Structure formats: C-alpha cells, structure tokens
Amino acid sequence: MKLEGIIMIVVLICNCRASVRKDFVISFIKNFVVNEGKPTFLIYNDLCWNIDRKVKLANEMSKAGFRSSNSFDLSFDHLHHNLLFLADLNCPDTGHILVNASSNKLFGAPFRWLVLKDSSNENQDGLSVLLKSPLLPDNDLVLAERNNDEIKMFELHKTSSSKPLMFTPRGHFNGTLTDIRPHRELFRRRRDLMGQALTMANVIQDSNTTQYHLLKEDRLELQFDPVSKICWTGAKLIFEMLNVTPQYIFSHRWGYKSNGQWSGMVQDVATGKADLGTNCLPERDRMEVISYTDTVAPFYVRFVFRQPPLSYSSNIFSLPFASSVWVAVVTCVAVATATLYLASVWEARQGFSPSQLDGSIGDALLLTLSAIGQQGCVIEPRKLSGRIITWMTFAALMLLYAAYSANIVVLLQAPSNSIKTLAQLASSKITLAAHDVDYNHFVFKRYTDPVRVSIYKRIDPEKGKGQFYDLNEGVERIRQGLFAFHSIAEPVLRRVVETFLETEKCDVSQVDFVNGFDGYIPVKKDSPYLEVIRVTLVASRDTCESGGTYCVATGFLCYF
C-alpha cells in the first residue's frame, strides 16, 4: 500500500508540473498577443494539444479581448492583417502545416506567425522545414524556444531566397515578457537589405540615347523620356536608403494587356524580371499583377494647346464696353437729341433760315444720327447754345469711337481663355492630336463616356489617317495655333520654353484627359520588398515636399 501511495504522489506531481508547463506556454501566448498591440485573430489549426488545453487557450484569449479559432476562411482577405498563426514544432504534423503555408504564400505580409519550440524535443523535422521556408523580408514570424522556465524569441528572415537565414533576438519571457525590438514597425527592422540586388525596369520611348544619359545622370537631352530619368534618379536614392545593389533593364512599352498577355514594363515586373518599374498611371487591369506604391515625382498626361483668339469664340464687337456703358451711351444720345430739340424750338421762334433746324424732333434726331455716324449734316444750329450742344455731342462720340477702336485692336490680339474643360475642348473646332507613343494608342480606348469617345474618334478616326505626331512637330503645331496635343506635359512644356516667343507662351493651356491621376511606382503584387519600397518612397517624397523642392517642372513663367 505504501508503494502504491508513493506512485500516486509521483504521478500527481508530474501531472501538476505538466499542467504548470502548459499554463506557462498559454500565459506566454497571451502576453505575446497583448504586447503586439494590434487587432489579432489567433489561428491554431491542426495543433496537437488536447481539447482541454485548447479550450483554456481560447478562454484566455477571450478574456484578453482577442478572438481565436482552429480554422479560418482565407477568402475574407480584408481580415488577413489580423491573423496570427500558431504552430508548435513539438507536434508531428507541423512540418506538413509549414509546407502547406509556404505553398499558399502565408509567410508573407500581412500574415503573422508564432512558432513554438521546446529545446528538450528531439524531433527536428518541423524545424528543418521551417528553416527551408521562404521567410523573406516581408514575413513576420517569431520562433519562441522554451528552455525550462524561460522562452526566448527570435525573428527569422532572409533578404532573398538565396541568402542565409538570419536569427534576430526579439526578447524573452520568464513570467514577464520583455520586448527588445529597436522599433515596433516591421519595415524599420527590415529596411537594411544588406546589398541585395534590386532591378528596375525603365521605359524608353522618345530616344534610344536615353539608355546612355539615364545611367550617366548627365542631365543631357532632358526633353527625352523625362519620367524615366527622374524615376531612375529617385529610385537610386531609394536603393541607397535600403542598402541594395541597383540593377536595371529597359522596356520600350509601359505595358498593356493584349490577348490575355501583358507586355512591356508591366510584364517585366509581373514575371519577376524586374522588382520595380517607372511611374505609370493606375489602371484596374494592371492591379491583377502589380501593386502601386507611391510616386517619385508627379507627371501629367494632358492636352496642351494655345487658347484660340477671342474672335474665334466671341463677338468682339460687343465686348469693348460693359452693358452699363452701352446703356449710358444710349442715355447720353437721347439727352443730346432732347436738348437739341429744345434748342432748335427756341431758335425757330427767333427766326428761320434754310440751313437752320426747323424746331422739329426729326431735325434734332437727324443731327444726332449724323454725330453717331461721324458724318456732317446740312442743317445745324445757329445760336450759341445749340452749337455748344452739337459740339459736345460730336466730341463725346468721337472719343467713344477712339476708345472702342482701341479696345477692338486689343481684343483681336487677346486669347479667349474659353477652353477650360474637356467638354469645351471636345466641342471646339481645334484640331486634336496625340504624341505618337504606345500609351496614346491604348489610353483613349479605355473610356466610354461620350465626351472622351468623341475626342478619340477625332484623333484616330475609323477611316483616314490618325492624328499622331512626334514631339517636335506636335509642339510646332501648338505654336501655330488651333491645335491641341495630348502627351506627358513635362517634355511638351520644356519644348515650349525652348521654341516659343514670350508673347506666345502666355496663352498656353492644359486640359486633363485621364482624370488627374498621378503615376505610381509599380511593384510585383506579392513582392517581399513591397512594403519597404512603399514606405521608403513615401518618406523620400515627404522630405522632398517639406523642403519645398520640386523634381519635375510643371509650368513656366509668362512675362506679358
């Protein structure tokens, strides 16, 4: 009996110690989730714990205000950033779970992982699978290794699939969790890519010499491919901030989907041939294969044209004077006619001659009309009062005509400023044309509203030759007038500054066709470098704007 009692006591002690060990792990998990400080949905699928321990874990998570479950439908992608997967390397099926997670790309952002390991466990199969997993810079996986009554935490990641795995201490737990991360933001801990090579796809369309000048950064031939040049300059700054080795390739198209296949730069980025590309406009189709990060420098795709002369859009003969002035002129003429009539009545009573006003309203009106027409009249007043009225009427109308003629001359040379919207441009008689590059052969087709469709039909009619020109010819036609040229605005404006007279620059206007979207740097949709590139681009742009610096000219000064 004594022996049986001793055995029972030993069993109870072992069970108590096992229970304490289990409670210690659950306490660690709870403290870890609380320390994260973000909404968390704990997923412990295929965890080999017994049901009582799982229930206790769920209760502890619920008390702390967090949800937990042993399964989750990944189709709810708006909740992915809340998910924290829990795996235990002591479980025999953990290796299979990790392989499945790798094949479903669950180790990348926005998913988080907490992997438990007991140093006393001799089963290394799960650990070997973990170490071979694609733990790239966007992964947020923590390996928690227990050694007696202490758990040490390590972050695991590689700068690329070919580089060695790095273990970064994150903290420890011995009843109290200690977090030693220098920064809580993941991108700040992963932004040192340790010389990893990143490739940028640069779009070259205006001149093949750009391939030479872009890499030299010698600021020559700035009118050719300005967007690619400024993006490469900005990207090199980003590469330096991320401590990567810059590489480059060239594409001759931005990239559009044709017959189910992508082309140009988008194809290079989507297939992994390049890690990022030149600023491009956001389009829904492209979002299937790439993600947009931030803009290096704003650029605008617009119609550039000179406003038509005022005589082209308005009746200039009614414009010199305001309506109130015309009312005042009519009133003055009426008053002059009345005073001449009264003066002629008084003169007729004093005596009458054939060349004298006869005192009728008709004669007074005839003399006034002669003054309006700046013509003489055979009848005229003979007395001083009538002659003063006649002289004042002729003098006032002569000055009025001088002012009117001077304003007409000014208006004949003035631009109208009548085209401010796309609808006004579409309804005008200005010739519409576009720069002969690939995006203009695609962008016009993507709109179905009547205004843009009418513009597209004028530029590229079904019958006849399309209105597509190179940059120099397009700018020259703008200078000649009544011509709108659709292109990236910056090289057009640079050419305008070089070739236009100062008086010709003042009536240059722009109208947006693509709803004013800025271009953004594209990155492959599931790229492990997406977040570090995005955040670094935003930081770079904020620094540039806060310093009052502009990377691309968007206009010019007019001195007339």
At 542 the pLDDT is 76
Tell me the average pLDDT of the chain. Answer: 83
At 126 the pLDDT is 84
Identify the CATH assignment for 320-413 out of 3.40.50, 2.40.170, 1.10.287, 2.40.50: 1.10.287
Domain ranges of the chain: 2-190, 197-299+520-546, 320-413, 416-512
Reported confidence tier of residue 12, pLDDT bands at 50, 70, 90:
very low
Average of per-residue pLDDT across 107-120: 90
86 burial type by CB count under 10 A (0-12 exposed, 13-18 middle, 19+ buried): buried
Q: What token pair was written down for 458?
A: 């004028």
Query: 2-190 sits in which CATH class?
Result: alpha beta
CA-CA-CA-CA torsion for 485, 426, 282, 553, nearest 10 degrees? 40
d(CA 115, CA 174): 17
d(CA 560, CA 547): 30
Q: Which of 353, 346, 417 is nearest to 380 (CA)?
A: 353
d(CA 530, CA 524): 8
At 267 the pLDDT is 93
Reported confidence tier of residue 526, pLDDT bands at 50, 70, 90:
confident
Q: Which three-class secondary structure state does DSSP give residue 202?
A: strand
Reported confidence tier of residue 11, pLDDT bands at 50, 70, 90:
very low
Asked if residue 325 has pLDDT above 80, the reply is no
At 205 the pLDDT is 86
DSSP 8-state code for residue 436: S
Phi/psi of residue 27, nearest 5 degrees: -60, -40
d(CA 514, CA 443): 8
pLDDT tens-digit series, residues 122-158: 667 888 899 999 999 999 999 999 988 899 999 999 9
Average of per-residue pLDDT across 259-266: 89
At 558 the pLDDT is 52
Q: Which of 21, 20, 93, 32 is nearest to 68 (CA)?
A: 32
d(CA 322, CA 326): 7
Average of per-residue pLDDT across 262-287: 90
298 burial type by CB count under 10 A (0-12 exposed, 13-18 middle, 19+ buried): middle
Q: What token pair was written down for 527?
A: 């790229």
Query: Per CATH, which fold does 197-299+520-546 belong to?
Result: D-Maltodextrin-Binding Protein; domain 2 (3.40.190)
d(CA 21, CA 31): 15
Query: Which range scores top for mean pLDDT: 276-285, 321-330, 551-560?
Result: 276-285
The H or E element that residue 211 is part of is helix 210-216
Asked if residue 6 has pLDDT above 60, the reply is no
Residue with the two structure tokens 């050694």: 147
Residue with the two structure tokens 């009539």: 341
* Residue 541 near residue 481 (C-beta atoms within 8 A): no
292 burial type by CB count under 10 A (0-12 exposed, 13-18 middle, 19+ buried): buried
* Residue 484 near residue 426 (C-beta atoms within 8 A): no
pLDDT tens-digit series, residues 470-499: 999 999 999 998 899 999 888 898 899 889
Q: What superfamily in CATH does domain 416-512 come from? A: Periplasmic binding protein-like II (3.40.190.10)
At 355 the pLDDT is 58
* Residue 443 near residue 301 (C-beta atoms within 8 A): yes
Q: Do domains 2-190 and 197-299+520-546 have the same CATH topology?
A: no
At 455 the pLDDT is 92
**Where would I find the H helices in 414-529?**
422-427, 438-443, 450-459, 471-480, 489-499, 502-505
* Residue 336 near residue 368 (C-beta atoms within 8 A): yes
Q: Which of 481, 486, 485, 526 is nearest to 503 (CA)?
A: 481
Q: Which residues pair with 41 in a beta bridge?
A: 67, 83
Residue 324 has a CB neighbour count (10 Å cut-off) of: 8
Return the higher-pLDDT residue of 91 and 542. 91
Residue 68 C-beta-side C-alpha neighbours within 13 Å:
23
Average of per-residue pLDDT across 413-435: 86
Average of per-residue pLDDT across 341-357: 67
For the chain, what percentages of helix, strand and coil (3-state, to nearest 5) are there? 45, 20, 35
Asked if residue 95 has pLDDT above 70, the reply is yes
Residue 70 has a CB neighbour count (10 Å cut-off) of: 13
Q: Which of 97, 154, 106 is nearest to 126 (CA)?
A: 97
Average of per-residue pLDDT across 352-372: 68
CA-CA-CA-CA torsion for 9, 10, 13, 18, nearest 10 degrees? -140
Residue 189 C-beta-side C-alpha neighbours within 13 Å:
23
* Residues contacting residue 327 through CB under 8 Å, at least 6 positions apart: none
Q: Which of 439, 19, 513, 414 is nearest to 227 (CA)?
A: 439
Percent of the chain with pLDDT over 90: 35
At 14 the pLDDT is 46
Average of per-residue pLDDT across 197-217: 88
User: Which of the residue ranges 100-104, 186-190, 396-400 would you say has the lowest mean pLDDT?
Assistant: 396-400
d(CA 172, CA 159): 24
